[in-house]
């Protein structure tokens, strides 16, 4: 049906002054003029607010090549933006795996025409309420898709369960555990990775979870085994000899102990006595054997130490139902691949256990392990844009370490609250810097590096966590997985030798919704390949326009087309 002519057009009189035309008498337009006026109006009209909403949502579901050409500028931009966003998770997708593409475009002519009549209610009338205002039963496939998009959840692997909308609704998590999470830990809502992981793992699927550091992966993988244990009787004198039912592997002892601590935060309130033990280097075999002698439900271990204990027969793994590899990418970086495969082989058949892998980055090695040792896993990736946007990255050229130190003390540290983490590459730099801070400033510093004993490392971490130290000077030992709340600033006093480490180092700040800052000092001695990757990353993650590569750096390195060569003097 043709659209009626604008009333303003009908009452206007060509050639008259505005004052005369505003309330002028209606004029009769002949058919030709009426058609011209209608075409004119069609061409100049901006979409209504409701149409814009439709386009925003339509933009989210438009698939490659379907973006359409007829819609107006704002809608097109959003659609293109959505397409750009979705093109990130593309490893070996089959079209049928992509759960975000199940439905066709949702905007029909009917909606657009009807929208003009009553803009306020039509969104509700045709499209329904927003998913957050619906009951679980009212949720349509389209609502689930919008929910996944709202939380940047992408899926692969077929038959993926819907994410959690909250802790309680599906009753999949026992109330006892929900109560602890809400009232003791005060986590009122699941994080996106927790929303996506828990239903799939409780469904019995093997699982690969990809999410940035600080996104809450630990609790995502701890809740399902805790739910499982809640249904089983406590260990008795016989079952305690069979080893843990959940085994979690982590690349470093600090991370293993952090996972143990996170698990204990929940376990200590459980009605069923549940034992969590960590198995890491630095504790003697006698100590380990003593802690295992009382039985253990959840064992958190580093791969090397676990194999030692298996070989010296102080541990058996006869009843591992759940095997979790945390920070899988780091374990591969650390050269644990062989140890991982040994453990994967010794914990029974692929089908007899449920295996999960969590990682911040995906690589072909991880996919190979997932294909070899996991049973048709569900892949979930949670977009990391939000986390990255929380960290302002600054890069400066400053060759001398003395200059870096005075720059920090004079200009940088006074602007940041504690705790601050300063990363260096060598133990001797850590000691030198710690001495300088202690003798020349009032900052309280602590150090963490590989030559420290286990006890000393734990002590250093506690000093920082408890606020007894303002600054931690650390090597990459602390770059990964360690969670110290509220780190306001990460300084790469020496740039790391692998770019991967950069991401993990700066991930110590800007966690759990807080913003943070990462300052990196460069010198021409830094590896040009790593520097090139750094610039590329700083540029591509700068969605908010907050990052800053100082002119000094631009002078020293040829920037442009991401090709960076240090200038040799």
Interaction mask 431-470, ligand ADP, x per CB under 6 A: ----------------------------------------
Rounded CA-CA distance 373/343 in Å is 11
Residue 217 as a binder of ligand ADP (CB under 6 A): the answer is yes
Residue 191 as a binder of ligand ADP (CB under 6 A): the answer is yes
Helical segments of 468-558, H only: 499-506, 528-540, 551-556
Q: Which does 219 bind (CB under 5 to 8 A by kind): Mg ion, ligand ADP, none?
A: ligand ADP
List own/partner pairs for 525-531 with CB under 8 A and 24 or more apart.
525/399, 526/495, 526/566, 527/497, 528/564, 528/565, 528/566, 529/499, 530/495, 530/496, 530/497, 530/498, 530/499, 530/502, 531/495, 531/557, 531/564, 531/566
Beta carbons of 77 and 68 less than 8 angstroms apart: no
Interaction mask 509-538, ligand ADP, x per CB under 6 A: --xx--------------------------
Q: Which does 191 bind (CB under 5 to 8 A by kind): Mg ion, ligand ADP, none?
A: ligand ADP
The DSSP call for residue 566 is B
Going by C-beta distance under 8 Å and a sequence separation of 6 or more, which residues neighbour residue 124?
none
Q: From the CB of 217, what's the least distance to Mg ion, in Å?
A: 5
Helical segments of 390-426, H only: 401-407
Interaction mask 273-312, Mg ion, x per CB under 5 A: ----------------------------------------
Task: Name which of 212 and 292 has its Cβ closer to Mg ion.
Answer: 212
Task: Name which of 75 and 192 has its Cβ closer to ligand ADP.
Answer: 192
Q: Count how many residues are written for the chain.
A: 569
The residue of the chain with the least Cβ separation from ligand ADP equals: 218
* H or E element in which residue 44 lies: helix 31-44
Task: Name which of 162 and 217 has its Cβ closer to Mg ion.
Answer: 217
Region binding ligand ADP by CB under 6 A among candidate stretches 154-162, 209-217, 293-301, 396-404:
209-217
Q: From the CB of 457, what's the least distance to ligand ADP, in Å?
A: 18
Region binding ligand ADP by CB under 6 A among candidate stretches 17-25, 107-115, 190-198, 328-336:
190-198
Residue 190 as a binder of ligand ADP (CB under 6 A): the answer is yes
Q: Which does 483 bind (CB under 5 to 8 A by kind): Mg ion, ligand ADP, none?
A: ligand ADP
Q: At what angle do helices 528-540 and 499-506 cross, to 10 degrees?
A: 40
Task: Name which of 205 and 217 has its Cβ closer to ligand ADP.
Answer: 217
Rounded CA-CA distance 382/400 in Å is 40
Q: Which does 511 bind (CB under 5 to 8 A by kind): Mg ion, ligand ADP, none?
A: ligand ADP
Rounded CA-CA distance 508/518 in Å is 9
Q: From the CB of 307, what's the least distance to Mg ion, in Å?
A: 22
| Among residues 60, 100, 161, 213, the one that binds ligand ADP under rule CB under 6 A | 213
Q: Which does 347 bind (CB under 5 to 8 A by kind): ligand ADP, Mg ion, none?
A: none
Q: Which does 214 bind (CB under 5 to 8 A by kind): ligand ADP, Mg ion, none?
A: ligand ADP
Give the closest residue to 300 by CA, choosing from 282, 267, 335, 325: 325
Cα 464 to Cα 264, 445, 446, 483, distances in angstroms: 21, 9, 8, 11
Q: From the CB of 175, what's the least distance to ligand ADP, in Å?
A: 17
Helical segments of 151-215, H only: 175-179, 192-202
| Among residues 483, 500, 526, 533, the one that binds ligand ADP under rule CB under 6 A | 483
Task: Name which of 225 and 481 has its Cβ closer to Mg ion.
Answer: 481
Binders of Mg ion among residues 138 to 157 (CB under 5 A) are none
Give the closest residue to 315 by CA, choosing from 334, 301, 327, 325: 301
Rounded CA-CA distance 291/566 in Å is 53
Rounded CA-CA distance 13/19 in Å is 11
Binders of Mg ion among residues 180 to 239 (CB under 5 A) are 217
Residue 216 as a binder of ligand ADP (CB under 6 A): the answer is yes
| Among residues 12, 100, 161, 215, the one that binds ligand ADP under rule CB under 6 A | 215
Tell me the DSSP string of 49-79.
HHHHHHHHHHHHHPPTT-S-SSS-HHHHHHH
How is the beta sheet containing 471-474 ordered, strand by strand?
445-448, 471-474, 420-423, 489-492, 516-522, 391-397, 548-549
Beta carbons of 340 and 303 less than 8 angstroms apart: yes
| Among residues 62, 177, 208, 219, the one that binds ligand ADP under rule CB under 6 A | 219
Task: Name which of 384 and 541 has its Cβ closer to ligand ADP.
Answer: 384
Residue 319 phi/psi, 5° resolution?
-135, 35
Interaction mask 473-502, Mg ion, x per CB under 5 A: --------x---------------------
Region binding ligand ADP by CB under 6 A among candidate stretches 183-191, 241-249, 348-356, 402-410:
183-191
Give the closest residue to 431 by CA, choosing from 462, 473, 489: 473
Helical segments of 377-527, H only: 385-389, 401-407, 427-440, 454-465, 499-506
The site that binds ligand ADP (CB under 6 A) totals a number of residues, namely 17
Q: Which does 485 bind (CB under 5 to 8 A by kind): Mg ion, ligand ADP, none?
A: ligand ADP
Rounded CA-CA distance 160/2 in Å is 45
Q: Which residues bind Mg ion (CB under 5 A)?
A: 217, 481
Q: Which residues bind ligand ADP (CB under 6 A)?
A: 187, 189-191, 194, 211, 213-219, 483, 485, 511-512
């Amino acid at each position: 049906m043709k659209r009626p002519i604008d009333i303003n057009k009908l009452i206007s009189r060509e050639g008259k002054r505005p004052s005369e035309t505003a309330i002028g008498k209606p004029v009769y337009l002949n058919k030709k003029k009426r058609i011209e006026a209608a075409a004119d109006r069609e061409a100049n009209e901006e979409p209504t607010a409701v149409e814009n909403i439709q386009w925003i949502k339509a933009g989210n579901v438009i698939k490659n090549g379907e973006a359409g050409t007829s819609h107006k500028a704002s809608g097109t931009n959003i659609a293109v933006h959505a397409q750009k966003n979705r093109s990130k998770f593309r490893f070996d997708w089959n079209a049928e795996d992509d759960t975000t593409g199940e439905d066709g475009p949702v905007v029909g002519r009917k909606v657009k025409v009807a929208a003009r009549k009553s803009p306020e209610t039509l969104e509700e009338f045709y499209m329904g309420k927003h998913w957050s205002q619906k009951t679980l039963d009212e949720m349509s496939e389209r609502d689930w898709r919008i929910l996944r998009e709202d939380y940047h959840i992408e899926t692969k692997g077929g038959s993926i369960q819907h994410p959690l909308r909250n802790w309680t609704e599906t009753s999949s998590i026992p109330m006892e555990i929900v109560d602890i999470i809400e009232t003791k830990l005060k986590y009122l809502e699941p994080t996106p990775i927790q929303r996506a992981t828990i239903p799939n793992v409780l469904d019995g699927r093997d699982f690969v979870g990809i999410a940035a550091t600080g996104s809450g992966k630990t609790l995502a993988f701890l809740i399902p085994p805790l739910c499982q244990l809640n249904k089983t009787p406590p260990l008795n004198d016989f079952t305690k000899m069979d080893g843990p039912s959940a085994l979690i592997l982590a690349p470093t002892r600090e991370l293993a102990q952090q996972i143990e601590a996170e698990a204990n935060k929940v376990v200590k309130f459980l009605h069923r006595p549940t034992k969590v033990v960590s198995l890491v280097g630095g504790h003697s075999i006698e100590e380990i054997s003593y802690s295992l002698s009382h039985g253990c439900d959840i064992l958190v271990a580093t791969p090397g130490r676990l194999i030692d204990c298996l070989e010296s027969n102080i541990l058996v793994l006869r009843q591992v139902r759940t095997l979790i590899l945390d920070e899988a990418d780091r374990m591969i970086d650390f050269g644990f691949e062989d140890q991982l495969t040994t453990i994967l082989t010794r914990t029974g058949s692929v089908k007899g256990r449920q295996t999960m892998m969590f990682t911040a980055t995906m690589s072909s090695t991880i996919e190979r392990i997932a294909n070899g040792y996991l049973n048709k896993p569900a892949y979930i990736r949670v977009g990391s844009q939000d986390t990255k946007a929380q960290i302002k990255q600054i890069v400066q050229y400053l060759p001398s370490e003395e200059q870096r130190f005075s720059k920090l003390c004079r200009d940088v540290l006074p602007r940041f609250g504690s705790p601050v983490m300063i990363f260096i590459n060598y133990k001797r730099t850590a000691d030198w810097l710690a001495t300088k801070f202690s003798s020349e400033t009032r900052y309280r510093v602590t150090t963490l590096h590989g030559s420290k004993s286990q006890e000393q490392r734990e002590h250093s971490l506690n000093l920082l966590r408890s606020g007894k130290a303002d600054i931690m000077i650390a090597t990459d030992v602390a770059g990964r997985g360690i969670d110290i709340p509220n780190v306001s600033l990460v300084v790469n006093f020496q740039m790391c030798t692998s770019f991967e480490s950069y991401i993990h180092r700066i991930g110590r700040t800007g966690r759990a919704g807080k913003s943070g800052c990462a300052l990196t000092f460069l010198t021409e001695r830094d590896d040009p390949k790593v520097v090139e990757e750094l610039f590329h990353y700083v540029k591509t993650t700068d969605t908010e326009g907050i990052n800053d590569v100082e002119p000094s750096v631009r002078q020293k390195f040829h920037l442009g087309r991401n090709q960076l060569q240090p200038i040799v003097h």
